[in-house]
């Protein structure tokens, strides 16, 4: 069996097929790595946007009247709920608690 596998490998190599297979594997590996880098950049940007929005709301809450504070907090909770729903499955942290998935976390915020 080993001799037949080796003979097949030599024929494929001679025909140039092994090289194209390894190039294809490398191309797929590079595409996956780029996709992962893009996803990380997107998550980092979304995190920065969320932090800026949270800082802005926190500043507004500190300056406004009681009614204004309630409106800002409600706005923040609504924003968190929307983010949680958009993220969807997997595990995530909401208000310091790990939730099994986004939908459950969003339901708990209602």
The whole-number pLDDT of residue 98 equals 47
Q: Are residues 99 and 82 in the same domain?
A: yes
Q: What is the pTM of this model?
A: 0.39
Residues 43-71 pLDDT 10s: 888 888 888 888 887 776 666 667 776 77
Helix (H) or strand (E) holding 47: helix 17-63
What does residue 94 show for φ and ψ, rounded to 5 degrees? -130, 120
Q: Are residues 107 and 57 in the same domain?
A: no
**Where is the domain boundary, 43, 63, 83?**
63
Q: Are residues 56 and 75 in the same domain?
A: no
Q: Which residue has the higher pLDDT, 45 or 18?
A: 45
The whole-number pLDDT of residue 103 equals 45
Q: Which residue has the higher pLDDT, 64 or 15?
A: 15
Measured distance CA(76)–CA(83) in Å, rounded: 11
Structure tokens given for 77: 């909770």
């Amino acid at each position: 069996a080993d001799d037949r596998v080796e003979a097949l490998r030599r024929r494929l190599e001679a025909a140039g097929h092994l090289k194209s297979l390894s190039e294809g594997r490398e191309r797929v590996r590079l595409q996956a790595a780029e996709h992962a880098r893009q996803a990380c950049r997107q998550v980092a940007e979304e995190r920065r946007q969320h932090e800026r929005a949270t800082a802005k709301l926190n500043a507004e809450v500190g300056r406004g009247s009681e009614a204004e504070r309630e409106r800002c907090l409600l706005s923040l909770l609504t924003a968190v709920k929307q983010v949680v729903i958009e993220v969807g499955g997997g595990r995530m942290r909401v208000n310091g608690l790990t939730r099994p998935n986004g939908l459950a976390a969003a339901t708990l915020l209602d």
